Amino acid sequence: MERLLFTADHDAYRELVKEFVTREVEPNLQRWDDEHLIDRAVWRAAGKQGVIGLSVPEEYNGGGQPDYRYQSVVMEEFAKVGAASLISSFSLQDNIVIPYINDLGTDDQKRRWLPGMATGELIGAIAMTEPGAGSDLQGVRTTAMRDGDEWVINGQKTFITSGINADFVIVVARTETEASAQGLSLIVVETGTPGFTRGRKLDKVGLHAQDTAELFFDFARVPAGNLLGEEGRGFVHLMERLPLERMSIATSALASAEAIFTETKRYCFERKAFGRAIGDFQNSRFVLAEIATELDVTRAYHDAAVVALNNGELTGTDAAKAKWWATELQKRVIDRCLQLHGGYGYVLEYPVAKAFVDSRIQTIYGGTTEIMKEIIGRDLARSEHN
């Protein structure tokens, strides 16, 4: 089916991204995996090319282009070369941290952080998850107590994307002693803050190049002016911006699934068994037909959701549908594609093998599949009770 989501401007931008991928990404993928870290040079190169920070307003040296379709282009082109770790890192910057600063920041905060994020000189992160609080943010135990002109932060965070590279972290902390969602606030902690330390870089099943870390706050003191948004409204701020975060995960999931499917089709009609291409066997054709159909149907929902997102109309429920469905589809597609590769699918030099381990986290972070279904189920129940 013809895809109608993109315009000629998006197509021209895609050519720019393709050139960036060829020059800056593909030659470094294996090194980044081996070093378990994406070096900062690619961030700066992406800033120069407009591959990150495109949504930063022009007054802060950004592209001033909030159209999410440009982010979709970046994720799709990265997925074609298996750069899942880079998708995770750049998407965090573009679809989570920059919107938080842009939407909630004071003029001073925007001047301090947005220009550097647009150029790739500054890397941001957000710290929600704790050892005892993942999907349930009401369980957050990290505290931030006001002491004069400072916040004093104590606690621990874990599974923090870009936790090693980040120049600053938006910390979800409890500013009221009562254990409820209403007592949470967002406070920015910058590198070099006394009492703020980084723990180990976590050794993960997949996404080896993407730095995921533990963070510790031991009476870390930050200026009162580092409060992001309103005190006590951190939970509301998070909920308002989760549709974009979850949509970005859905986009990356679908882009990865499509890229692996394209590679698998090629493999099936090149690989011979019993004197003919394995794609000419009925079982293989049926599997490929199933995957092609599932991807097309999912793409239709995804693209409609992107339009709604751009129009400010994407609901949290619809974003949850996109997130859980696309990430579960990604797992199913890649697993079946690996099976079609046979033994070669288990060898990491083949894209399907790397995608297999990189994709496993997709149904967990940004809200697990189970949490997404709970969100949708609650919405259905409310509509029936009203």
3-state secondary structure of 329: helix
What's the rounded mean pLDDT across residues 135-162? 92
Residue ending a domain, among 187, 204, 232, is 232
Q: Residue 105 maps to which CATH number?
A: 1.10.540.10
Residues 228 and 250 in one domain: no
Domain presence at residue 152 = yes
Domain presence at residue 1 = no
Residues 80 and 105 in one domain: yes
Residues 23 and 103 in one domain: yes
The one-letter amino acid at 332: R
For the chain, the 3-state helix, strand and coil shares in percent, each to the nearest 5, are 60, 15, 25
Check residue 357 and give its pLDDT.
97
Residues 355 and 256 in one domain: yes
Residues 178 and 304 in one domain: no
What is the number of structural domains in the chain?
3
Residues 166 and 254 in one domain: no
Beta pairing class for 124-127 and 168-174: parallel
CB 245 within 8 A of CB 97: no
pLDDT 10s digits, 22-73: 999 999 999 999 999 999 999 999 999 999 999 999 999 999 999 999 999 9
C-alpha to C-alpha distance for 162 and 43, rounded to whole angstroms:
12
Residue ending a domain, among 180, 202, 232, is 232
Residues 377 and 243 in one domain: yes
pTM of the model: 0.94
pLDDT at 246 over 80: yes
* 182 phi and psi angles, rounded to 5 deg: -70, -15
C-alpha to C-alpha distance for 305 and 28, rounded to whole angstroms:
33
Residues 247 and 379 in one domain: yes
Residues 308 and 178 in one domain: no
Q: Give Cα separations from 362 to 39, 111, 208, 366, 369 (angstroms).
A: 23, 33, 14, 8, 9
C-alpha to C-alpha distance for 385 and 18, rounded to whole angstroms:
50
Residues 263 and 368 in one domain: yes
- Spatial CA neighbour of 325 closest among 287, 365, 371, 363: 363
Residues 250 and 369 in one domain: yes
- Spatial CA neighbour of 129 closest among 87, 97, 172, 165: 172
pLDDT 10s digits, 256-307: 999 999 999 999 999 988 989 999 999 999 999 999 999 999 999 999 999 9
Domain presence at residue 113 = yes
Q: Residue 200 maps to which CATH number?
A: 2.40.110.10
Q: Is the dihedral of CA 212, 218, 221, 225 positive or negative?
A: positive
C-alpha to C-alpha distance for 203 and 205, rounded to whole angstroms:
7
pLDDT 10s digits, 365-375: 999 999 999 99
Q: Residue 275 maps to which CATH number?
A: 1.20.140.10
Q: Give Cα separations from 64 to 115, 226, 308 (angstroms).
A: 12, 24, 20
Residues 273 and 251 in one domain: yes
Catalytic residues: 245
Owning domain of residue 284: 235-385
pLDDT at 102 over 90: yes
Domain presence at residue 181 = yes
